[in-house]
Amino acid sequence: MGTERILVMNLGSTSSKIAVYDDDKEVFNDTIRHTTEELAPFGDVTEQYEFRYNKIRESMAANGVSMDSLTAAVSRGGNILPCPHGAISIDQAMIDFLTRPEDLAKHPSLIGSMIAFDLNKEYGIPVCIYDAIGTDEKIPLCRVSGVPELPHFTVGHTLNTRAMAIKCAEEKLGKKFEECTFIVAHLGGGSSIRLYKDGVNIDSVNDDEGNFTPERGGGVSAKRLVDLCYSGKYSYKEAMKLFHGKGGLIAHLGTADARDVEKMIADGDKYAAIVYEAMCLSVAKDIAKLAATVCGKVDRIILTGGISYSKYVSEYITDHVSFICPVEVMAGEYEMEALAAGCLRVLRGEEVLQDFGEIAAAAEDRISIVPGVKPGTVPQR
């Protein structure tokens, strides 16, 4: 069996993280930063494709890795349909869905999928996404809302939360992931909080329905939101931006950088202190909410993502949720390693490569309260 050379791509709003692995050994990694000025000329996220691809090619060339030496590529993905965890093959149907014009909240990670698909066409190598943003394994009981057309769903940081839960199970508890129950809070520009039981993400709180974040508005009064949307003050796109991109700390304090906010607090800004503490409390309340789903029987609460590096944030949340169970702060993210490992398992035949078409055909049933009953429509994420 020859060595697999895997290109890993995880593209975010202001950076393009890439790495190349020979099997499970990292050859190099690079975080390519993109300034506001560089990205300003682009409207829709998909317009950044050529710019981002050129930056990735430059990085690979600078690190002595040629495109034609790759044997596979894996990307974080994009706003895909509700799907199981694991690997999904990238094809034209997936690209068409990820780039659909009606999605006004496109995630930059979809560009990685576009690049991977072009590599597949040019070099014939297998390409996939892994633990996609749209991974949704919520159990029916946790899916019901009071509005049948709007069932609850899961979206966000499956890749990092699942990787951290597996790591915690093996390294902290000495158990298999499937034997444990975890609540994992990924804290970044956006957030998601997940409840993993017996290896499945049975419940969650997304950042458009609960805690607010540096860039997300979080959950608000439904009646007041309806009033706002019909006030004539905002277009559809502008209203969406209030909650996805220009909400949270940005709306209150003009910055999404937690370090800036903590400096404001240190300098005596009382408003900044209230807003920041409120953000932390909103996370703690959502963690406690998920604990109720399993009657408080949780092995560990895990805080991860970039903001969990903040001692202010991690200590505040820990103080408010440690009555449930011990808290592990696993700051940062292990998404690149998780992407590479997942792709390698597929290449070695240890894990099935799922078909996007089959997943799309079953998407409605995945979010049904009862199989065969479709109370709403597939959420357009």
Q: Is the pLDDT of residue 375 over 60?
A: no
Instruction: State pLDDT tens for residues 18-41.
Output: 999 999 999 999 999 998 889 889
Instruction: State pLDDT tens for residues 169-207.
Output: 999 999 999 999 999 999 998 899 999 999 999 999 998
Q: Is the pLDDT of residue 123 over 80?
A: yes
Q: Is the pLDDT of residue 371 over 80?
A: no
The pLDDT of residue 381 is 47
The pLDDT of residue 215 is 93
Q: Give the mean pLDDT of the chain.
A: 93
Q: Is the pLDDT of residue 350 over 50?
A: yes
Instruction: State pLDDT tens for residues 244-294.
Output: 889 999 999 999 999 999 999 999 999 999 999 999 999 999 999 999 999
Residues 284, 302: Cα–Cα separation, whole Å = 12
Tell me the CATH number of domain 140-331, given options 3.30.420.40, 3.90.1150.10, 3.30.70.1290, 3.40.50.150: 3.30.420.40
CB count within 10 Å of CB 136 equals 26
The pLDDT of residue 363 is 84
For residue 373, what pLDDT band results from cuts at 50, 70 and 90?
A: low
CATH superfamily of 5-135+351-366: ATPase, nucleotide binding domain (3.30.420.40)
Residue 74 CA: distances (Å) to CA of 25, 135, 286: 15, 16, 32
Burial 106-130 (b: 16+ CB within 10 A, else e): bbbbbbbbbbbbbbbeeeebbbbbb
The pLDDT of residue 378 is 53
In this chain, the answer to whether the domains covering 5-135+351-366 and 140-331 adopt an identical fold is: yes
Q: Is the pLDDT of residue 374 over 70?
A: no
Predicted TM-score of the model (pTM):
0.84
Q: Is the pLDDT of residue 369 over 50?
A: yes
Instruction: State pLDDT tens for residues 53-74.
Output: 999 999 999 999 999 999 999 9
Residue 54 CA: distances (Å) to CA of 7, 14, 51, 358: 15, 15, 5, 33
The pLDDT of residue 234 is 95
Domain map (residue ranges) of the chain: 5-135+351-366, 140-331
Instruction: State pLDDT tens for residues 82-119.
Output: 999 999 999 999 999 999 988 877 888 999 999 999 99
Q: What is the mean pLDDT of residues 304-310?
A: 94
Closest alpha carbon to 279 in 325, 323, 312, 328 = 312
